């Protein structure tokens, strides 16, 4: 799944679960990552290319732009929220598993103990659609983003 749905869902959880405390927000956001990964989804271009292959500048640029746009959208809500830290912690929690397990530049850590098990665990939830039904994989993420934005608008 792309970064933006994970970031926004985490932030939405932060907005709703803020009274439970930041550790709870973080844990719920991490769980939301796995729940979202089960949905049929497309991944960013870097995840669709085997690690051994070289990435094109366009692939890298598109991924950076996607992540930056997600951060910009969530920043808008963080700055107008009465619980900005909860939103930020939720956004971070929503992305944490991918930050550990899916960044091409340190995918090598998947070979290390604990990270290897984390990767195997993460893969169990992978509902990525890589060939057909790509439109479904895009639609699910669009719906997740819309729901998260609605929750953020109503809780800030």
Contact residues: Zn ion, CB under 5 A: 37, 98
Q: Encode 117-150 in three state secondary structure.
A: HHHHHHHCCCCECCCCCHHHHHHHHHHHHHHHHH
Q: 9 or 81, CB closer to Zn ion?
A: 9
> How far apart are CB 125 and Zn ion at their closest, in Å?
7
Token duo for residue 120: 């195997």
Least gap, CB of 19 to Zn ion (angstroms): 27
In the complex, least distance from residue 119 CB atom to Zn ion, rounded to whole angstroms: 10
Q: Which is nearer to Zn ion, 87 or 98 (CB)?
A: 98
Nearer to Zn ion, 37 or 44 (CB): 37
102 vs 153: CA distance, rounded Å: 30
> 145: how many CB neighbours lie within 10 A of its CB?
18
């Amino acid at each position: 799944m792309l970064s933006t749905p994970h970031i926004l869902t985490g932030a939405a959880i932060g907005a709703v679960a803020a009274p439970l405390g930041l550790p709870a927000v973080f844990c719920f956001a991490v769980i939301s990552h796995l729940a979202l990964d089960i949905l049929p989804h497309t991944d960013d271009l870097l995840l669709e290319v085997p690690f051994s292959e070289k990435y094109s500048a366009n692939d890298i640029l598109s991924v950076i732009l996607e992540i930056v746009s997600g951060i910009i959208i969530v920043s808008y809500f963080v700055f107008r929220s009465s619980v900005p830290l909860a939103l930020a912690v939720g956004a971070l929690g929503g992305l944490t598993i991918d930050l550990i397990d899916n960044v091409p530049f340190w995918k090598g850590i998947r070979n290390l103990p604990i990270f290897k098990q984390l990767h195997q665990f993460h893969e169990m939830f992978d509902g990525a659609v890589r060939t057909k039904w790509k439109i479904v994989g895009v639609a699910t993420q669009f719906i997740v983003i819309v729901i998260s934005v609605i929750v953020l608008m109503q809780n800030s």
